[in-house]
Amino acid sequence: CIRDRGYAVAVDAAVMLTSGTYIPADSSYEVQMADALQTARRPFVKPLVYDARNAVVLPDFVLVDQPRTYVEVWGLPGRQDYELRKQRKLEHYQKYARRLIEWTVTEPMPSLA
């Protein structure tokens, strides 16, 4: 809005972390993965929370060049609540995923080719 002195003032603002090509991300590690997937020319979608009404798990990325192929970025290793959620996700992927690409951020990123 414009204030009395004639200059613009931000009243409300919202920010969202995104990759360089505006892929939404929940962490800087997801930004790195999105950029790496694009560099590897892997087509993917980034599921968002508001899209996941009845989803059992919400993967970080879904590759669309291979059926049921998911990408998980494990960004908080060692936290008990995170490790429990990770275990539930892994159990789900063992049943329903054809392939799971995992990156624990304390280790090198896996090959995406």
Amino acid 97 reads A
Q: Does 46 score more than 80 pLDDT?
A: yes
- Within 10 angstroms of residue 86's Cβ, the number of other Cβ atoms is 17
Residue 7 pLDDT > 90: no
Confidence of residue 49 (pLDDT cuts 50, 70, 90): confident
Extract long-range pairs of 6-9: CB within 8 Å, 24+ residues apart.
none
- How does residue 54 score in pLDDT terms, banded at 50, 70 and 90? confident
- Enter the DSSP assignment of 109: P
Q: What's the rounded mean pLDDT across residues 57-79?
A: 94
* Average predicted confidence (pLDDT) for the chain: 90
CA distance 47 to 58: 7
